[in-house]
Each structure stands twice: as structure tokens, then as C-alpha cells.
Structure 1
Amino acid sequence: MTSGTNRVLDELAKLVTDAAGAAQGVRREVETAMRAQVERILNSMDVVQREDFEAVREMAARARTENSALIERIEALEARLAKFEGQSAPKTAKSSAASTKSRNNS
């Protein structure tokens, strides 16, 4: 009688194990289907992926840095130009007016 009970318990354990395996398979299939559905919805909404967003954000940060450096460089060049123009400017108002007139005619 003991072997009969063991056999029944063994069969029951095998049945539970098979059911658990089947449940895991169903779970994987449901997850795959859900993931595909969510991807389809997100694609229809034109939502960007995280990797693309991070790449664009990094590019924007680099562009801001380059822009700041270029602004500083332009300001330094304008200061040098103003200093150069200040040194070569005519001393009298009469010759300054003539210089402006000749520049406007060119």
C-alpha cells in the first residue's frame, strides 16, 4: 500500500511540475505578445527610444559648449578689431568724415 501511495504522489508531483512548466510557457507567450503590442502602440505614437534620446541630448550639449566657445572667440576677435581700428583712426573730424564718405562710395 505504501508503494501505491508513493506512486500516486509521484504522479501528482509530475502533474504539478508539468503544469508549472506549461504556466511558464504561457507566461512567456503572453509577455512576448504584450511587448509586441506595446511596441506597436509606441511606434504609432512616434515615441523615441531611450538610446536615440540620449544620443541627441549629448549632441545638443556638445553644440552648446561649442557655441559658447565660438561666442567667446568672436568677442575676442571683435575686441582686437576694435582696438586695431581705434589705433588707425584719423585724428581730425574732417579727415574722419572724408574717410567715411569714401567707404560709403565704394
Structure 2
Amino acid sequence: MTQTTNRFFDDFAKLMTDAAGAADGMKRETETFMRGQAEKFLRDMNVVVREDFEAVREMAQKARQENEALALRIAALEAEVERLKRA
């Protein structure tokens, strides 16, 4: 009886191990499929990737800073022109 009980538990443990492995494999396949579908959806919706967004944001910040510097320079030049007109 002990022999068959051990055999039963061994077979049951093997079955559970195989089932866990199969479930893990299905999980990985499902994740891969869902990731692929999400990427396709985002691509079809013309959503920008993070790296491109960050690059454009940096360009916009730099342009804003340059515009502010140019506005200050123009204001200074206009003030100088007005001073020269009065002199």
C-alpha cells in the first residue's frame, strides 16, 4: 500500500508541475500576444513613442528659451533706439 500511495503522490506532483509549466507558458504567450496587439493599436492610432515625445519637448523648451532671450534683446535694442531718438 505504501508503494502505491507514494507512486500516486509522485504522479500527482509531476502532473501539478507539468500543469504549472503549461500555465506559465500560456501566460507568457498571452502577454506577448497582448503586447503585440497593444503596440499595433497604438501604431494604428498614430500615438507617439515616448522617446520622440521627449525629443520634441526638449526642442520646444529650447525654442521657448531662445524666444525669451530674443524678446529681451529686441526690447533692449528698441530702448536704445528710443534713447538715441531723444538725444
TM-score, normalised by the number of residues in structure 1: 0.75
Q: Quick one: distance in 2 between partners of 1:75 and 1:28?
A: 62
Counterpart amino acid of residue 6 in structure 1 = N
Q: Percent identity?
A: 60
- Whole-angstrom CA distance in 1 between matches of 2:74 and 2:33: 57
Query: After superposition, where does 1:1-106 map in structure 2 within 5 Å?
Result: 1-87=1-87
Distance in 1, matches of 2:77 and 2:3, equals 98
Structure 1 residue 85: Cα displacement = 2.7
Stretches of 4+ moved more than 6 A in 1?
Answer: none
Letter in 2 for 1:85: K
Structure 2: distance between partners of 1:15 and 1:51: 46
What is the DSSP-based 3-state SS (H/G/I as helix, E as strand, rest coil) of the residue aligned with 2:14? Answer: helix
The unaligned stretches of length 5 or more in structure 2 are none
Greater relative contact order (Cα < 8 A, sep 6+): 1
Distance 1:3 1:78 in 2: 101
Shift of 1:43: 0.7
**1:8 aligned partner, one-letter code:** F
Which has the higher Rg, Structure 1 or Structure 2?
1
2:26 partner letter: V
2:22 is aligned with what amino acid? A
Structure 2 Cα separation of the partners of residues 71 and 16 of structure 1? 72
Q: How many residues align?
A: 87
> How far, CA to CA, are the matches of 2:13 and 2:59 in structure 1?
58
Q: Distance in 2 between matches of 1:77 and 1:3?
A: 100
Cα shift at 1:58: 2.1
